[in-house]
Amino acid sequence: MRENLERIKEKIRVKSELVGRDPQEITLVAVTKTVEADRIEEAIAAGVNIIGESRIQEAKEKYRKVESRIIWHLVGHLQRNKAKDAVKIFDLIHSVDSAELAKEIDKQAKKIGKIQKILVEANVSGEESKYGLNPEGVITFLQEVSGLPNIKVEGLMTMAPFYENPEDCRPCFRKLRELIEEVKAKNIKNVEMTYLSIGMSNDFEVAIEEGSNMVRIGRAIFGL
């Protein structure tokens, strides 16, 4: 695992420098879906400082078991009825894709005195099997939720289709980067486009070329 992690970090460094970017700009989220708590502790010892979970129930169990201090991200789909648990565990929720969900997160965060950081998930590939807002609706959505006092929008996320050739993901990544620029130009109150969360184990190098500053990597670290 330590070797895998170092290999990933080196690839991030090389690719970033190749396109004139600072490798320190790239946040690595180690996706720990199905990874046991003891292996998460090993990953933390190896240098991981952010983990990404996909399912609330699994995350709750690990949250009790993992003793090391770590930053928790939710990278999987979130149902409204799980928002209460999510705000207690996660520093950043990547997958907000409806006003109803945003309002529920805001409500639950208010109860515990928290400003919950979120990313908005956009479905730029158009795949029906993918969650996320239609890209054309993202700005309207952001204007609708920008007044919610207990959430803070910090960027956008998308799930690209899986392709054997990572190059095929480029149009999807580019579309999200262009959408972030559109959002920035609107200067919406309480909305920041700090993070562009794109890129996974098979395509993160292409994502970095397209502007990603947050990559979500599981298989390439844990060998799943």
Question: Domain of 205?
Answer: 2-222
Average pLDDT by stretches of 10, the chain with 224 residues: 96 98 98 96 96 97 94 98 98 98 99 99 91 96 98 97 94 97 97 98 97 98 86
Q: What is the CATH number of the domain that holds 67?
A: 3.20.20.10
Give the residue from 71, 34, 19 showing the smallest Cα distance to 221.
34
Of 87, 78, 48, 77, nearest to 215 (Cα)? 48
If one counts the domains in the chain, the total is 1
Q: Where are the beta strands (DSSP E) in the chain?
A: 27-31, 50-53, 71-74, 92-96, 116-121, 151-157, 191-197, 214-217
pTM of the model: 0.96
How far apart (Å, rounded) are the C-alpha atoms in residues 134 and 126?
8
Give the angle 98-207-170 at the CA atoms, nearest 5°. 85
Determine the pLDDT at residue 224: 64
Q: How far apart are CA 130 and CA 88, in angstroms?
A: 26
User: Which of helix, strand or coil describes residue 167?
Assistant: helix
